[in-house]
Structure 1
Amino acid sequence: MATVDTVWRASDTNPGAIDAALRAALSQVHRENAGYVPARVLNLVCVVDKQYSGEIANRLRRVGRYHPSRTIVCSVDPKRTTLDAVATIAGPSEVREGDIGLLRETVVVECGERHLRHLDSIVDPLVVTDLLTCVWAPHGHHEAVDSLLDLAQIVLTDSVDDPEPADAIHRARQLSEKVYVVDLAWLRSTPWRERIAATFDPDTVRPELRTISSVTIRHHPDSAASALLLVGWLASRLDWRCAPLMAQRGGVTEGSVHARRQDVRVRLEPDPRLQVRGLSGLTLATASGRTYSLERGPGGLRAHFENRRGEVRDWTILGASRGEAGILGEGIRQALLRDQTYAPALAAAASLLP
């Protein structure tokens, strides 16, 4: 169980004073017990609207063991002209002799919209040098993110936050030219991509990949970006030539992409029944008459297979969903890794945009 070891507060302060207070507090905690040492893996800079800062704090508390070493929260109050700050150092309640207790630091800086254009001058003194720095702005604030691009190596984003999937895809591509992008919309499709890959992994089934004739993806009405990225992944891995899909009634998007042997029909369908972000189901059909479906269900994904001979199989893939807390935790973990499949999928998704 973690306990707060020290808290420092100041009004109308500056980044230099915050940094000095953190250094002094860390030294004091270490002097009291040499077993306490600061965690040194990742800086996470969060730019949030002040009115929703509590919600973001709750999400970060639930990421578990993937918690960043130092979290810097820039809480934006439009009318604020000065900086207020709270710095907290937290660690385990007890550290026995010979053990190590990792300390994690959180700095909340209350700032105004006037500070966002030059937010790098506030954040730079507060990040731990020689560590990777990840920026996350769940409420937009593109101007703030852009000001931090010379300081950060990773941007954590969520393409489903943007009401226009096209804008989200274009923004992600723009960012990926400068930094490594971790997209939560992409991570939500991980269990689906894993199951597709596992299905076609056996040598006897793998040739069927070249005969896929249609792809139907059902998604939360606000998660069209996740569906586009999944199709983009298939296209980039299977060398499909993409063409823009066409918007239809009811939010449906459909069209064709071009495989080596045949065209592949693509259909993206909003599912108003789905209460959480992400995908609700997908169906792949092949020219040989095989149909493979996945549907979100209690306890995992419900899989269905049938072929022209009338063979039918149904089974449940347990534990496929990680929930939103798990998705954010995985996003922080991915900041330390490099997914080589996202950028090609993103480029293919861009070419699918209506």
Structure 2
Amino acid sequence: MNTSAMGNKMRNTQPRRGSIADIDAALRSLWSEFHQDVSGGHTVMRACMSNLIIYCDTKEEAALIGKEIPAIVDIHPARVLLLIGNGQPKKGNAESNVSIYYTELNSGWQVCAERIDAIVTTEAVDRLPSIARSHLIGDLPITLWWASRLPPPDAGDIFFQLAELANQIIYDNMGWANPAKGVASTTRWVAAQQDSKVVHNLAWRRIAGWRKLIGQVLDPQTAPDALNSLNSIEIEHGPHALAMTWVLVGWLASRLQWKAVDGKRLSDSELVWRFQHQQQDIKVVAKRRPEGEPLLYRLLFDWSRAEQPGRICFERLDHDRIGIDETMSTVPPRVFSAQIPSRSALISAQLAHRSREKIFEEALKASNSMSAVFQK
């Protein structure tokens, strides 16, 4: 059997191409050949903790996800169903690729994933839910990773049918063409789920370091009255990171009980919101840098009064650190460890969670209120 290395530990078998109807036969054949190749008294352990359905709608995104799957299943073994809409099958309107991911242990071999790719044309995309349903492992949790650039509810039937199969839905609002519309529609859908499903936005984990840092540095014991006296926040973010910025501001608004009263687009790269809390006006400006990565780069909090300045400016220094800019701050400069996690790390970490996060959902509700007052 031909195999290819996938990093220092993880390997995968050569993908077996065939029709959708050939998937089960291809899996049996791969298992049989794998057992023959590693025979000689070695143990083969099949590790599988859940089903992971991944939907994407371009072959380019599928190629990126394919590179991330080994890191995901190394931490969280799963049967992976990669569904590719708008694909380009070699023959007809649908085809499959089947492979196995495995790693060597001291006592033998561990199979960490069975990967099934279902590639269909635009005309056949409605077949994907039934393909996924037919190849799930029973009695194991099911997670849907919605990797399309379309906000989940805006994609229509394909999303709703796949979501019906899942116990947990993971989506990512990075790169949404219309963040205001996407936040509004997605938040309404999340609220309608009540306690039936776990829904998670990768942006929530991406801003975890920022949330922790803001909570520590602006804690009332560290900076008395800073949070209660805030009058403005300026945020600089990179391209495709506005929706993530939106979630961060929504988190602040929900935790500090701000009410969104106004929102405007000042230019193609700058938005402003106005909030109120106990007769206090808070202005939040979000500016997009002309180039860079989809990250938060700079946050300036200002709680100055007439004769008492109060400011703190956080700035991302590199992929591992966030610092306090002493030239823009009235607090001592410091540097904090804040490594940017990979997408695969975010996914594998979330796969282990099986309960809803109320603080996240409250942040989503506040984000929706921000979109409701936004003037297009």
Q: TM-score, normalised by structure 1?
A: 0.85
For 1:290 and 1:137, the matched residues in 2 are separated by 42
Pairing of 1:36-75 with structure 2 (within 5 A): 36-48=44-56, 49-63=58-72, 65-75=74-84
* Aligned residue in 2 for 1:317: 336
SS at match of 1:221: coil
Contact 1:138 1:161 in 2 (8 A): no
Question: 1:227 aligns to what SS in structure 2?
Answer: helix
Cα distance, 1:103–1:28 mapped onto 2, change above 3 Å? farther
Cα separation, 2, equivalents of 1:18 and 1:69: 17
Q: Measure the CA separation in 1 of the matches of 2:330 and 2:126.
A: 61
Q: 1:306 to 1:280 in 2, by over 3 A?
A: closer
Instruction: Report the CA distance shift for 1:261/1:26 in structure 2 as closer, same or farther (over 3 A).
Output: farther
Q: Does structure 2 conserve the Cα–Cα contact (< 8 Å) formed by 1:306 and 1:312? A: no
Judged with a 3 Å threshold, the aligned counterparts in structure 2 of structure 1 residues 119 and 300 are, in CA distance, closer, same or farther, namely same
| Alpha-carbon distance in 1 for matches of 2:30, 2:239 | 47
| 2:303 paired with 1:286 | yes
Kindly state the Cα deviation for residue 250 of structure 1 after the two structures are TM-superposed. Answer: 4.7
Name the structure 1 match of 2:166.
Answer: 152
Cα deviation, residue 277, structure 1: 0.6
Give how far 1:3 is off.
3.1
Which residue identity lines up with residue 11 of structure 1 in the other structure? G
The percentage of aligned residue pairs carrying the same residue is 22
Superposed counterparts of 1:154-303, under 5 Å: 154-176=168-190, 177-178=192-193, 179-201=197-219, 203=221, 205=223, 207-273=225-291, 275-287=292-304, 289-298=309-318, 299-303=320-324
Distance in 1 between residues matched to 2:330 and 2:251, nearest whole Å:
29
Structure 1 residue 306: deviation in Å?
A: 8.2
Query: What number of residue pairs does the alignment pair up?
Result: 343
Q: Supply the distance in 1 between the matched residues of 2:250 and 2:241 (Cα, whole angstroms).
A: 14
- Give per-residue Cα distances to partners, 1:60-105, cap 9 Å, x unaligned: 34558445512111233456544322221221235426xx734321
CA contact (8 A) 2:76 2:351 kept: no
What is the CA-CA distance between 1:122 and the residue it aligns to? Answer: 0.6
1:209 partner SS: coil
Structure-2 separation of matches of 1:110 and 1:245: 42
Q: Which amino acid aligns with 1:316?
A: V
Contact 2:55/2:84 (<8 A) preserved: yes
| Rounded Cα–Cα distance in structure 2 between residues aligned with 1:203 and 1:264 | 22
Aligned to 2:5: none
Taking structure 1 as reference, are residues 234 and 13 closer, same or farther at Cα in structure 2, changes over 3 Å only?
closer
Q: Which runs of 5+ in 2 are unaligned?
A: 1-8
Q: Does the 8 Å CA contact 2:143/2:351 hold for their aligned counterparts?
A: yes
CA contact (8 A) 2:237 2:289 kept: yes
Alpha-carbon distance change, 26 to 204 in structure 1, aligned in 2, over 3 angstroms: same
Is the CA contact (8 Å cut-off) linking 1:64 and 1:329 kept in structure 2? no
SS of the aligned residue for 1:350 comes to helix
Q: Which residue of 2 aligns with 1:83?
A: 94
Alpha-carbon distance change, 23 to 282 in structure 1, aligned in 2, over 3 angstroms: same
Deviation of residue 230 (structure 1)? 0.7
Alpha-carbon separation, structure 1, partners of 2:254 and 2:47: 38
Q: Structure 2 residue aligned with 1:336, among 343, 348, 352? A: 352
Partner Cα distance (1:276, 1:8) in 2: 33
Confirm or deny: 8 A CA contact 1:43 1:131 kept in the other structure. yes
Contact 2:73–2:348 (CA under 8 A) maintained in structure 1: no
Higher relative contact order (CA 8 A, sep 6+): 1
Please tell me the residue identity of whatever aligns with 1:169: V
RMSD: 2.9
The 8 Å contact of residues 291 and 306 in structure 1, kept in 2 or not, is answered as no
Partner of 2:343: 327
Q: Distance in 2 between matches of 1:77 and 1:265?
A: 42
Give the TM-score, by structure 2 length. 0.80
User: 1:3, 1:90 within 8 Å by CA — same for their partners in 2?
Assistant: yes
Q: Deviations over 1:264-316 (max 9, x none)?
A: 1111111224x111211111122453211111113411113689xx9552122
